[in-house]
Amino acid sequence: MSRRGLVSLTTRRSVRRKGGELATAATRRLEDRHDWYATLSARERSWVGMVAQAGIANFIDWLNGTGPADTRTIFGAAPWELTRTISLAQTLELARTVVEVVEERVEDLARPGDVTDLRVAVLRYSSEIAFGAALVYAQAAEQRGAWDARLESLIIDAVMRGEVDESIRTRAAALGWDSVANIVVLVGNSPHSPEGDDPAGAVSAVHRVAQRHNFPVLAGVQGARLVAVIGEATDPRTRVRDLAECFADGDLVHGPLVEDLAQGAVSAHAAVAGHLAAHGWPGRPRPVAADDLMAERAVAGDTLARAALIETVAAVLAEHPSLLETARTHLDSPGLEATARALYVHVNTVRYRLGRVTDIIGYDLTNPHEAFTVRVALTLGSIVEDSSKVIG
């Protein structure tokens, strides 16, 4: 039997005639009963009110057999952003409130013989709307997920290109990154193959790990590389190790810590350059900091690494002639004793001077890889100096 057959035309007309009163009562009930409603902005409350009114109108249409219990009609009264503002549980409370208002007025709305039938109709409508609300949220989540993925990809591209302007910051804010600081960019091999695997799986894996460890992250696949922009990474090594499982085998390189997304390109450039040059250090760890690959990056042609080595190593040692001489001599000698003989000083003097070198430039010349880095820096410094003399 149809709904129209269960409830008389007289009762259905009564419900339609009092639709405005029911909608007003439903909105008032929301204000009185639900604390979350009071926390909404005026615009958001107006959206909820529109949904409540649309719910009453849809119930009337459903009761009269002129339309289904249509959640698209009800929630179409408000922008889909409403699903970001109130939860599914709150939406179900909203639906129950609308139904309660109708149910409480059944005896006033229905003629005596229709009271039971109208109550049954209200309960049927309630169950259909509850199921429909869950479907609306599922669809909204899917749409939001696709939109967020596009935003995320756009932001990753902007960070990698060094083009984080106000529009990108606004888009990042939509993903909750308006106040995220302490940024580190991590670059490694993507676990998906170029033959057509969906890169969304790699990105989702990064998000799941970040959620588990409670830190913000943006991720994207660029060609064969997987890139992660990590926020609140005051301890970069820990955060990078947390995400290492999301990357395929191969080098995993993170850039230096920077203040915010606007400076993210600095970390991104270092990470990409380090990833390209990492093979130059056979004993490299995984993961490895791009700053620990300065020499390899410089040899591979990274102009920023070259400039940094000249400024932080060659230029600094040039201000300490005895230390520069000791460093050069030690790099060309097979050990401390040989360095001491070449300089005509005691071996303890060599140890002291090498300790001072470590203090002022941060590299230990007794460590083979760090010694190589200093050698590259001094070589670059000499080339620049000789070029300046020729030009001069």
What residues contact residue 238 under an 8 Å CB cut-off, 6+ apart? none
The CATH architecture that domain 303-391 belongs to is Orthogonal Bundle (1.10)
Query: Strands 288-289 and 217-222: what pairing?
Result: unpaired
- Is the CB of residue 224 less than 8 Å from the CB of residue 199? no
**Which is nearest to 200 in space by CA: 220, 173, 186, 230?**
220
191 CA to centre of own chain: 19
- Could you check whether the bond before residue 287 is cis, i.e. omega within 30 degrees of 0? yes
Q: How far is CA 176 from CA 25, 88, 151, 231, 359, in A?
A: 36, 20, 12, 11, 41
User: Over its length of 392 residues, how does the chain's per-residue pLDDT go in tens digits?
Assistant: 344 446 778 888 887 888 788 878 877 887 887 777 778 778 777 777 777 777 777 777 777 776 665 555 555 555 555 656 666 567 667 777 777 887 888 887 887 777 888 878 777 777 666 655 555 555 555 555 555 677 788 888 888 888 888 888 887 887 788 889 999 999 999 986 444 455 678 888 898 999 899 999 999 888 889 999 999 988 999 999 999 999 999 999 999 999 998 899 999 999 999 999 999 999 999 999 999 999 999 999 999 999 999 999 999 999 999 999 999 999 999 999 999 999 999 999 999 999 999 999 999 999 999 999 999 999 999 988 765 554 54
d(CA 19, CA 130): 21
d(CA 101, CA 340): 95
d(CA 385, CA 366): 26
Locus of tokens 């997304």: 261
Given 3-state DSSP classes, what are the helix, strand and coil percentages for the chain, each rounded to the nearest 5? Answer: 70, 5, 25
Hey, what amino acid is at 185?
Answer: V
Cβ atoms within 10 A of the Cβ of 301, count?
11
Backbone angles phi, psi at 178, to 5 degrees: -70, -30
The percent of residues above 90 in pLDDT, for the chain, comes to: 42
d(CA 227, CA 26): 49
Quote the pTM value: 0.64
d(CA 178, CA 170): 7
Backbone angles phi, psi at 2, to 5 degrees: -75, 165
Locus of tokens 């902007």: 158
For the CA atoms of 187, 191, 193, 196, what is the dihedral angle to 10 degrees?
Answer: -100
Strand partners, 289: 254
Q: What angle do CA 39, 24, 29 make, to 5 degrees?
A: 45
3-state secondary structure at position 21:
helix
Helix (H) or strand (E) holding 59: helix 42-63
**Which is nearest to 105 in space by CA: 10, 15, 12?**
15
3-state secondary structure at position 220:
strand
Q: How far is CA 154 from CA 205, 209, 218, 233, 385, in A?
A: 19, 22, 10, 22, 42
**Which is nearest to 305 in space by CA: 338, 347, 277, 342?**
277
Query: Strands 288-289 and 253-254: what pairing?
Result: parallel
The CATH architecture that domain 179-289 belongs to is 2-Layer Sandwich (3.30)
d(CA 84, CA 10): 41
